[in-house]
Amino acid sequence: MNLKDKLLSSYLTSQEHLDLDNSLHDIKDEAIKVFEEKGFPSKKQEDWKYTSLNSIIKQDFSLVSKQEDTIEFKDVKKYFIHDLDTYKIVFIDGVYSSYLSETTHDGVDVCLLSAALTKPRYKAVIDVYFNKIAPQDSLTSLNTAFAKEGAYIYVPKGKAVNKPIQILHFSTGNEANLMLQPRNLIVAEENAEVQIIERHQSLNGNAVFTNSVTEIYAGKRAMVDYYKIQNDKENASLIDNTHIDQQDSSEVSVHTFSFGGKLTRNNLNFYQNGEHNNSILKGVTIIEDKQHVDHNTLVHHKQPNCESHQDYKGIFDDNATGVFNGKVVVDSIAQKINAYQSNNNILVSDKASINSKPQLEIFADDVRCSHGCTIGQLDEDALFYMRARGIGVKEGRALLMYAFANNVLESVKIPQLKARITKLIANKLEVNLGFDV
Amino acid sequence: MLEIKNLSAGIEGKDILKGINLKVNAGEVHAIMGPNGSGKSTLSSVIAGKEEYEVSAGDVLFEDESILDLDAEVRAHKGVFLSFQYPVEIPGVSVTNFIKTAINQTRKAKGLEDMPASDMLKMIKEKSELLEIDRKFLSRSLNEGFSGGEKKRNEIFQMAMLEPKLAILDETDSGLDIDALRIVSNGVNKLRSKDNAVIVITHYQRLLDYIVPDFVHVLVDGKIVKSGGKELALELEEKGYDWVKAELAAG
């Protein structure tokens, strides 16, 4: 049985024991129908031209973890930003781990979607926000149909969450070939502020396939900073669908650091539904061997007087492949828009490749939109300059690659996170740069 | 310290240097002057180890050891320093981080530990004061947006930090105003000792008023055609390179 059929046939059973409102059952029933009709995306679709899901959907994945696994904190400590005081929402094989987590209801809600979907006190928020931002594409619908667990973060009007929130999804690999579908809902009401760091991590070499959906609602003048660390093991595949609704004068930034995994697809969509907004989309991809990372971004400017900034840097070695598909749509009433998009890539080996396609659909006439894409090699003159100063070839190249990624790193607002990412890059490039960040 | 024996080298099969002979001893300052296209930059690049250049004949000995087969960074570890005519911009790497990496890589090659942070800071403070470099400057990206004078001062700052045995200054005076010239020359002069040597490559005599050479060599068409003391530089200034070429032609 292929994966699509397995998912369809297991849908009904999966919905048993879920204590949900009828309205939620209806949403899910609709969603599974969409998935049934559309199926997994294929390479025939323009947006999936360079990323094939065949190797994943041919495999037999279990949809539920049969055992409740516990893990010792000391075994996973390194995956946390442990020198930073944060809230933590931790899942092991899709199941909440209260032992490793730290949640709160003190003025803000940092807790679980399973609670939010079933308990009456959350109903008002769920009715307004759940599944309202996400479009009905097949992968998002698939997640909606099976959605039952993930992070639920609600920040009421005027509140700032006093410390960042780490969301960690661990997969133990005790169940070989597990498919996970976490669903996150983040609501920042008017003038609210929140910072989130999310990470998917498998703990052994077994295959795991994650189809994740995150909906973020940013109210008027809200500020949301989201950081994604994608540094998983070589048998892990991730499709991350993140949908963001922005109201007037809000600012949302999403930084994506992709250093690992077998196949990673980031569908990142910003819907600017208000004026005077700023959307910031940044990424650093550093991959090798046969890894594949695909960034598919959309910024939809629906209102005037807004800005968006996209800056994605990629470094590809060995046989790694990358895709950047950046779309900016400016509706006809959205005048006075400044939309910048840039994708810069370095190919370190002859066999690495990147497909980069900026797409601009502009229907307003008083806007400033730019896009730029470069694909090149490391600057040989710069490398000689370094060698002439005694810096070896390996370290010199690493320094150049670090410098290349630097202006994305510079906009990371949490110093401990920035230091951690710098260290991850250094480890990846196998150098000890000994920098103070 | 440095002995160049009959060196011929070039690029893409064509020789630019056609049999260079030069001997530089510790404690000496040699100036190499010549018109454009004479091979001055080729000479400095070949000594520093730029891989694009092919050596077709001859040898370069540094402290009695042939260095032509050594990688650029190995030559740097041995104490060869090239101040670039066009220093490269490396956005994203600060001046401080660059020099720290260079120093620690050199120490590592010698089997030493990284320089302790406090020693490094002290050294940076000392040498930046010598070159009249502002502290704020040090956290800027290397050479990015620097004026010509700032780039050259930064080159000599690196030289001061790395304390090389042989420094080759490739057209260090190009793009410098009087003040920058004074500061850079002052820096170079302070670093001079009986244990190190300097090769100053330049078009113009002016720099040599500040960094006074012991020997002056004239490079024309890839060959050193005339050598003398510092007065030779003054003669060249007066009579121009054509005078040397005419002398040669006459026999």
CB-based burial label for B65 (10 Å; 0-12, 13-18, 19+): exposed
Q: Is the pLDDT of residue A17 over 80?
A: no
- Report the pLDDT value the prediction gives residue A437, as an integer from 0 to 100: 38
Domain boundary among A259, A274, A289: A274
Residue A416 lies in a domain: yes
Q: Which of B82, B93, B103 sits opposite A403 (nearest CB)?
A: B93
**Please, what is the average pLDDT of chain B?**
91
- Report the pLDDT value the prediction gives residue A417, as an integer from 0 to 100: 95
* A393/B71 CB distance under 8 A: yes
- A378 or A169: which leads in pLDDT: A169
- Report the pLDDT value the prediction gives residue B154, as an integer from 0 to 100: 93
Q: What is the distance, to the nearest Å, from the Cα of residue B110 to the centroid of all Cα atoms in its chain?
A: 23
Domain boundary among A233, A255, A274: A274
Question: Measured between CB atoms, does B78 come within 8 Å of chain A?
Answer: no
- Report the pLDDT value the prediction gives residue B180, as an integer from 0 to 100: 87
Confidence bin at A433 (pLDDT 50/70/90): low
Q: Are residues A264 and A411 in the same domain?
A: no
- A6 or A431: which leads in pLDDT: A6
Strands A109-112 and A151-155: antiparallel
pLDDT tens string A66-87: 777 778 888 899 999 989 999 9
At A63, the amino acid letter reads L
Question: Measured between CB atoms, does B143 come within 8 Å of chain A?
Answer: no
Q: Is the pLDDT of residue B36 over 50?
A: yes
Counting the structural domains of chain A, the total is 2
Kindly report the nearest CA distance between residue B233 and chain A, in angstroms: 29
* B88/A381 CB distance under 8 A: yes
Q: What DSSP string runs through B180-201? A: HHHHHHHHHHHH--TT-EEEEE
Question: Measured between CB atoms, does B144 come within 8 Å of chain A?
Answer: no
CB pairs under 8 A between A and B: 82
Task: Give the C-alpha separation, A258 to A232, whole Å.
Answer: 9
Residue A375 lies in a domain: no
* B158/A433 CB distance under 8 A: no
Cβ neighbours of residue A434 under 8 Å, at least 6 residues apart?
A: B100, B101, B104, B114
Tell me which residue range forms the domain holding A389.
381-437
B141 CB neighbours in chain A (<8 A) are 403
Confidence bin at B251 (pLDDT 50/70/90): low
Full-model pTM:
0.85
Residue A116 lies in a domain: yes
Residue A16 lies in a domain: yes
Domain boundary among A247, A274, A301: A274
Residue A52 lies in a domain: yes
B106 CB neighbours in chain A (<8 A) are 390
- Report the pLDDT value the prediction gives residue A311, as an integer from 0 to 100: 96
- Report the pLDDT value the prediction gives residue A434, as an integer from 0 to 100: 58
- For residue B115, the chain A residue with the least C-alpha distance is A434
Q: Is the pLDDT of residue A21 over 80?
A: yes
- Report the pLDDT value the prediction gives residue B206, as an integer from 0 to 100: 87
Residue A172 lies in a domain: yes
Confidence bin at B13 (pLDDT 50/70/90): confident
Cβ neighbours of residue A291 under 8 Å, at least 6 residues apart?
A: A234, A260, A261, A262, A263, A264, A320, A321
Number of Cβ within 10 Å of residue B4's Cβ equals: 21
CB-CB contact of A390 with B102 (8 Å): yes
Confidence bin at B111 (pLDDT 50/70/90): very high
Of the ranges A175-179, A320-324, B238-242, the best mean pLDDT one? A320-324
Mean pLDDT of B172-198: 90
A384 CB neighbours in chain B (<8 A) are 50-51, 72, 88
Task: Give the C-alpha separation, A226 to A196, whole Å.
Answer: 5
Question: Measured between CB atoms, does B219 come within 8 Å of chain A?
Answer: no
Q: Is the pLDDT of residue B239 over 90?
A: no
Residue A316 lies in a domain: no
CB-CB contact of A283 with A230 (8 Å): no
Residue A321 lies in a domain: no
- Report the pLDDT value the prediction gives residue B103, as an integer from 0 to 100: 94
Q: Is the pLDDT of residue A432 over 70?
A: no
Taken as a whole, chain B contains a residue count of 251
Task: Give the C-alpha separation, A139 to A328, whole Å.
Answer: 21
Confidence bin at A407 (pLDDT 50/70/90): confident
pLDDT tens string A199-235: 999 999 899 999 999 999 999 999 999 999 999 999 9
Kindly report the nearest CA distance between residue A412 and chain B, in angstroms: 15
Confidence bin at A353 (pLDDT 50/70/90): very high
Crossing angle between the packed helical segments A380-387 and A393-409, to the nearest 10 degrees:
120
Q: What are phi and psi of A301, to 5 degrees?
A: -85, 110
pLDDT tens string B38-86: 889 899 999 999 999 999 999 999 999 999 999 999 999 999 999 999 9
What number is the ipTM of this complex? 0.94
